[in-house]
Amino acid sequence: MSYDVEALRAQFPILAETGRNGQPLVYLDNAASTQRPLAVLDAVDHYERHAHANVHRAVHVLSQRATEAYEAGRAQLAAFLNAPSPDEVVFTRGTTEALNLVAYAWGGMLAPGDEVVLTALEHHSNIVPWQLVAARTGAVIRVVPIHDDGSLDLDAYDRLLGPRTKIVSVGHTSNALGTVNPVAEMAARAHAVGAILVVDGAQGAPHAPIDVQALGADFFALSGHKMYGPTGIGALWGRMELLERMPPWQGGGDMIETVRFEGSTWAAPPARFEAGTPYIAGAVGIGAAARFLMDVGRDAVSAHEARLLARATAGLQSLDGVRILGTAPHKAAVLSFVVDGLHPTDVGTFLDEDGIAVRTGHHCAQPLMERLGVEATARASFGLYNTEAEVDRFLTSMAKIVRLFR
Ligand code: PLP
């Protein structure tokens, strides 16, 4: 069956909004946050109207409905990730919280001199939590450098790995450059030295099928709002064997087995890591988003976005004074660029005048910007509902900007 982008667009009411100056909106800021389809809006609405109560603790009918809806969201995410069990999926506020959880709780078991390997591509949320844990434990952070095209230097990675390496934490896909990292290969090499591999999957989950078992990952973090679900909800998937060995990171209701003033014992995962009343509607929404993406077909989404990326890349390359940052052979639909003589913020503002939404800035990747010798870039990022006609409008606008303002 061919990919029916218009039928998909019809499922996203917000795409009917107009952009600046009454122009049809072209939304190319998907790496920051995607829009939500009716499947998600309706699932959340239905939950709020018909099923809300607190989860897990009551015998009454609404609490049972809420618990079923919450746990169904977990099961959908487990299917989405091909996780062996829903019990391996811990709900969090998003990728940031998921990475903080694993850094705090697993990373808290590091000893002085143990090494955590990150890469030069990482988002701040896969850097700062490890710096916090390094300061607490005396662990040391090592960084895999990149080649000029934005791909990882895997020879350098090999040289960094050793008996002191305990954790490798890597982004599946770079939000700033679109580079898709060879996570499965990196996991195998990390395991060979006895380290675990954590994946920041924020940008992987929306663009490609994810199979945590095939990746050989030990932990995988994701955000609902980057995969067509709500904000404020995400998850940390972890291998059960590791989750069982990991201490809690927040205390409170729901995460305990018994509580005495002399001391408490912990519930089994995932409850151990979900203290307090969770974001139940968010779990419903992220579950619906996972189901939606599985129904559309993630291979089809990948292929569609690859066509958009190729068209946009070729178009930008033909414009004088425009430089694309990130030209790795394996990329997702993220296109970062700079224009000679123009600040990225101005490029974003001019595009917005034409109804085109892109992001400008350091993309929460300041070390990467420094490595690339820029302060900021403009970034167009594509989603499953973008069209070739939208890419062409973006390119026409860019051609005008280059002609008039450079
Ligand atoms: N990691 C990557 C690669 C991202 O792109 C982002 C968000 O931009 C995050 C982590 C943080 O995600 P959140 O803000 O949803 O926690």
216 and 277 fall within a common domain: yes
- Ligand 1 contacts (CB < 6 A) are 94-96, 123, 125-126, 171, 175, 200, 202-203, 223, 364
pLDDT tens for each residue of 351-403? 999 999 999 999 999 999 999 999 999 999 999 999 999 999 999 999 999 99
What is the 58 CA–ligand 1 centroid distance (Å)?
Answer: 35
pLDDT tens for each residue of 57-79? 789 999 999 999 999 999 999 99
Q: Which residue's CA is the closest to the ligand 1 atom numbered 12?
A: 95
**Residue 251 falls inside a structural domain:** yes
**Both tokens of residue 272?**
């151990």
What is the 203 CA–ligand 1 centroid distance (Å)?
Answer: 7
pLDDT at 303: 97
Residue 114 has pLDDT above 90, yes or no: yes
pLDDT at 204: 97
**Residue 80 falls inside a structural domain:** yes
Q: Which atom of ligand 1 is nearest to the CA of 224?
A: 15
**Residue 347 falls inside a structural domain:** yes
**Residue 219 falls inside a structural domain:** yes
Q: How remote is the C-alpha of 234 from its chain's centroid? A: 9
**Both tokens of residue 365?**
């990747």
**Residue 321 falls inside a structural domain:** yes
192 and 338 fall within a common domain: no
369 and 387 fall within a common domain: yes
346 and 264 fall within a common domain: no
Instruction: Please count the helices (runs of H) and the strands (runs of E) in the chain.
Output: 14, 15
Compute CA distances 325 → 106, 321, 336, 403, whole Å: 34, 13, 5, 21
Q: Which residue's CA is the closest to the ligand 1 atom numbered 5?
A: 175
User: Tell me, what amino acid is at 61?
Assistant: V
pLDDT at 269: 98
Q: Which candidate in 212, 246, 328, 364 is catalytic?
A: 364
Q: Give the three-state DSSP class for 288.
A: helix
- Give the whole-angstrom CA distance, residue 243 versus residue 321: 50
pLDDT at 57: 76
What is the 318 CA–ligand 1 centroid distance (Å)?
Answer: 31
Are residues 153 and 146 in contact, defined by beta-carbon separation less than 8 angstroms?
A: yes
Q: State percent of the chain over pLDDT 90.
A: 98
Closest to 360 measured CA to CA, from 377, 372, 346: 377
- Give the whole-angstrom CA distance, residue 54 versus residue 60: 10
- Give the whole-angstrom CA distance, residue 328 versus residue 310: 13
**Residue 36 falls inside a structural domain:** no
pLDDT at 17: 96
Mean pLDDT (whole number) for 123-147: 98
pLDDT tens for each residue of 15-74? 999 999 999 999 999 999 999 999 999 999 999 999 999 998 789 999 999 999 999 999
320 and 243 fall within a common domain: no
Q: Which residue's CA is the closest to the ligand 1 atom numbered 14?
A: 96
368 and 274 fall within a common domain: no
Give the number of domains in the chain.
Answer: 2
240 and 378 fall within a common domain: no
What is the 222 CA–ligand 1 centroid distance (Å)?
Answer: 8
For residue 13, the domain's CATH number is 3.90.1150.10
Q: Which atom of ligand 1 is nearest to the CA of 98?
A: 16
**Residue 35 falls inside a structural domain:** no
pLDDT at 1: 60
User: Which of 295, 315, 343 represents a domain boundary (last residue)?
Assistant: 295
81 and 26 fall within a common domain: no
Compute CA distances 319 → 337, 345, 351, 397, 399, whole Å: 11, 19, 15, 11, 7
Mean pLDDT (whole number) for 302-323: 97
Q: Which atom of ligand 1 is nearest to the CA of 226?
A: 15
pLDDT at 58: 84
For this structure, is 48 an active site residue?
A: no
What is the 92 CA–ligand 1 centroid distance (Å)?
Answer: 13
Angle, CA 118 vertex, CA 114 and CA 121 arms, to 5°: 170
pLDDT tens for each residue of 172-231? 999 999 999 999 999 999 999 999 999 999 999 999 999 999 999 999 999 999 999 999
Mean pLDDT (whole number) for 286-296: 98
102 and 199 fall within a common domain: yes
pLDDT at 206: 96
Q: Which atom of ligand 1 is nearest to the CA of 223?
A: 15
- Give the whole-angstrom CA distance, residue 270 versus residue 130: 22
Q: Which atom of ligand 1 is nearest to the CA of 231?
A: 15
User: Which of 295, 323, 348 represents a domain boundary (last residue)?
Assistant: 295
What is the 138 CA–ligand 1 centroid distance (Å)?
Answer: 26
190 and 235 fall within a common domain: yes
pLDDT at 122: 98
pLDDT at 406: 75
For residue 70, the domain's CATH number is 3.40.640.10
Side by side, the strands of the sheet bearing 89-92 are 89-92, 234-238, 219-223, 196-200, 165-171, 115-119, 140-144
Q: Which residue's CA is the closest to the ligand 1 atom numbered 8?
A: 32
CB-based burial of residue 46 (10 Å sphere; 0-12 exposed, 13-18 middle, 19+ buried)?
Answer: middle
* Residue-averaged pLDDT of the chain: 97
pLDDT at 405: 81
Domain that holds residue 337: 5-30+297-405
**Both tokens of residue 296?**
């559309």
264 and 338 fall within a common domain: no
Mean pLDDT (whole number) for 287-295: 98
155 and 217 fall within a common domain: yes
pLDDT at 355: 97
**Residue 123 falls inside a structural domain:** yes
Q: Which residue's CA is the closest to the ligand 1 atom numbered 6?
A: 202
Best mutation site among 92, 101, 121, 125 for ligand 1 pocket (most ligand atoms within 8 Å of CB): 125
User: Which of 247, 264, 295 represents a domain boundary (last residue)?
Assistant: 295
Count the neighbouring beta carbons within 10 Å of the beta carbon of residue 384. 28
